[in-house]
Amino acid sequence: MIRVVFNQKGGVGKSSIACNLAAVFAFKGKRVLVVDLDPQGNSTHYLTGTNAADFKHSIADFFEQTLSFNLFNKDLSDFIQVTDYENLSVLPSSPELEFLERKLEAKHKIYKLKNALREMEKYYDEILIDTAPALNFYTRSALIAADRVLIPFDCDDFSRKALYQIMGELQDIQEDHNDNLAIEGIVVNQFQPRASLPQRLVEELTAEGLPVLPVKLSASVKMKESHQNSKPLIYFAPKHNLTLQFIELADSLA
């Protein structure tokens, strides 16, 4: 299964959700790959403790080799890094992605990621793609490659307005490029059950028939601490309530 975590709004927890779901899947024995398509490299650093710019090989190298003819192009697997966590690997991001984007668009390389990831399905049970907060070349490549989309939603009115735009853009991708793409659900993140606004927003989205997933992820400083330690929650705080919510969310998606 190839999943992409996508929202054009920044700060909604895309990297946190992608990495922690990946870690739960891996902890349960699945072979998991995280693909970091955000030039900021947050997922790369979270899973490895190393800045994306410091890796010798990255997803940028894969894309760059598609721009010119070469008899000895490397497979995507040659750029993948094994993490310290069993069953969990990452395809590192790179700041170079920003400089390559226009060249890749000009040469119509939008399907290269899809073809490469379909080959990787031979080796991984779950592939999760983290994206930048923008519908750019890399995000479109991810959506064309994916089977499912998870949309993080952080319970404010700005996120709600962005959500409707996202749904329309996903429909365009489905119609024009990937008719197998399905919205797996909206992941309510940083949820505060005692606050009236988050409760009201979630109830309204559900009443509108939007695919809000039943598991809601709580707001917690423990997430920031796990970021700081470059250690996903299931390894950093296995009995914490937020960790248990991620386990429940992963089980609902399996």
Each residue's pLDDT tens digit, 180-230 = 999 999 999 988 887 888 888 899 899 999 999 999 999 999 999 999 999
Q: What is the pLDDT of residues 107-142, one digit of tens each?
A: 999 999 999 999 999 999 999 999 999 999 999 999
Contacts of 239 (CB under 8 A, 6+ apart): none
Beta bridge partners of 183: 149
Average pLDDT on 68-73 reads: 77
Q: Is the pLDDT of residue 72 over 80?
A: no
User: Residue 70, class by beta-carbon neighbours within 10 Å (0-12 exposed, 13-18 middle, 19+ buried)?
Assistant: exposed
Q: What is the pLDDT of residues 55-65, one digit of tens each?
A: 999 999 999 99
The residue range of the domain holding 190 is 2-253
Average pLDDT of the chain is: 94
Binned at pLDDT 50, 70 and 90, residue 35 comes out as very high
- The tally of domains found in the chain comes to 1
The model carries a pTM of: 0.95
Q: What is the CATH number of the domain that holds 175?
A: 3.40.50.300
pLDDT at 44: 98
Is residue 151 within 8 A of residue 178, CB to CB? The reply is: no
Q: Is the pLDDT of residue 159 over 90?
A: no
pLDDT at 250: 97
In degrees to the nearest 10, what's the CA dihedral of 66, 104, 107, 122? Answer: 40
User: Residue 148, class by beta-carbon neighbours within 10 Å (0-12 exposed, 13-18 middle, 19+ buried)?
Assistant: middle
Q: Is the pLDDT of residue 168 over 80?
A: yes
Residue 244: closest CA among 212, 222, 211: 222
Q: What is the pLDDT of residues 15-26, one digit of tens each?
A: 999 999 999 999
Binned at pLDDT 50, 70 and 90, residue 38 comes out as very high
Binned at pLDDT 50, 70 and 90, residue 36 comes out as very high
